[in-house]
Chain A
């Protein structure tokens, strides 16, 4: 009886701290459709979102430094100092983040290094893995990473880390002629798709693949005539998809956004064709392959005059479906501003309201404002979308 009484006494409600409410977290209606949830608030130029492997935290850049926060109310963490300029962040495990960027850069375009940061020990410390890194992609399920390094003046080579380690091996016997600007893995994880800028030819962009087992690379497509590949090519079961268009360094002469198209090319090579199913007037900005490798999420517009929205494309069915019905939000269109949750049920995007040319007065503190600044939103992807 004493034991029973003791047991009863020990099973009382545990005392647990109540985490602070995240600013402005929760379902909101910023004009991006029902079920949209804000994942950040307040000022700051956010970019490059990436969900951790269990989908409970999201990392992103803010004015160049790296933060992550829980998707439920809770504290966010800053992973780098504010003088760090990160261009990409990727989780390789639940507590380890890889960051591509430069510490205290003195000029834009300074050489990027690849860093690893681990949150397991209670303090966040950056460990440099490699210098002169051009692009990276995580290897799902292996705590690993494939990345491209600068070699010489005009060349690149691929390198690989596994099991979360800081050491890496390079594919130095298989140099790539030109600089890799972006890369991603094939659905089976054994090959790499790369966008490459050939040496000494600023008017050409190449799409290349590399077989990690056979250690063989090949050119899949070559774009000429001032066209470039924007962002990361996505390797689907129906071929390689990529966004490409006329090279530009800023807005086009008439002040409008540059127009890029979505293309598809067979993985074993051929002539790129407009992606089937999106319509000939479709303007694409960024794409990401779903975790189940069956769908592409696309930020784009149905035609040059329509608003930017989020779409899902099923490459097998050649079917495009709108996910958002946005009219008055500016969805950010940088190539890395798009991320699927690991379960494939939601997508993170970055958006803001149309900036005003007049002072805007609000009744909330700045760190709780949403539409006045670029912020992250979680958009649910309907189960039946593009299936």
Chain B
């Protein structure tokens, strides 16, 4: 009986020592050094970036109707050719209670280094459904165009246009 007790005590001691040693090692190994998390700049110099150029006159001529057009120039501002660039246009209202954005998408294939591509979006800029919201009548909601170009590496460039009422 005494041998059994000694055996169990020894086994328990060995277990706790082993477990403790592992926990100590794990504790030392996993405590990260304190360091501020700095977000990666969205357009690091080594990453291919694109630029978007809009036509101010055309923006001024947009009307809250269907069948509107938006021309823009997409430019590869890096020295690396891009296999493709996704360009999206979202059209939404400043009145967020009404706003269900309309999305349009264009894919530009094979954009050479420093090359440009002309893009035309046809889109619907008519006013959304009208119903009572908390926005007073004296504050007509403006329309918002958001154009986003994304490279295969996931680098994005955004232009947001706030149109006057």
Contacts and interface: CB of A to CB of B under 8 A. Distances in A.
A8 interface: yes
Interface stretch (A24-32, A104-112, A129-137): A104-112
Contacts of A18: 37
Given A5-B23, A9-B24, A13-B31, A45 B158 contact: no
A204 B98 CA distance: 37
A355 interface: yes
A253 interface: no
B30 A12 contact: yes
The 8 closest A-B pairs by CB, nearest first: A64-B134, A9-B23, A5-B20, A2-B16, A63-B97, A359-B59, A44-B96, A45-B135
B160 interface: yes
Interface of A: 1-2, 4-6, 8-13, 18, 21, 42-45, 47, 61-65, 82-83, 85-87, 105-108, 110, 250-251, 355-366, 369, 372-373
A61 B134 contact: yes
Contacts of B99: 43
Query: What is the predominant secondary structure among interface residues of chain B facing chain A?
Result: mixed
B19 A366 contact: no
Q: Which of B27, B62, B161 has the most CB of A within 10 A?
A: B27
Contact of A106 (B97, B132, B163): B132
B131 A83 contact: yes
A359 B56 contact: yes
B78 interface: no
Interface in B27-42: 27, 30-32, 37, 39
Given A9-B26, A364-B158, A359 B134 contact: no
B21 interface: yes
A285 B85 CA distance: 50
Given A18-B37, A45-B134, A358-B164, 13 more contacts: A5-B20, A6-B16, A8-B23, A9-B20, A43-B92, A44-B96, A62-B96, A64-B133, A359-B60, A361-B56, A362-B161, A366-B160, A373-B94
Contacts of B142: 355
Contacts of A47: 134
A108 B138 CA distance: 13
Contact of A44 (B13, B94, B148, B157): B94
A1 B16 CA distance: 9
Contacts of B133: 63-64, 82, 85
Given A2-B20, A63-B96, A82-B97, A372 B134 contact: no
B139 A45 contact: yes
Contacts of A356: 162, 164
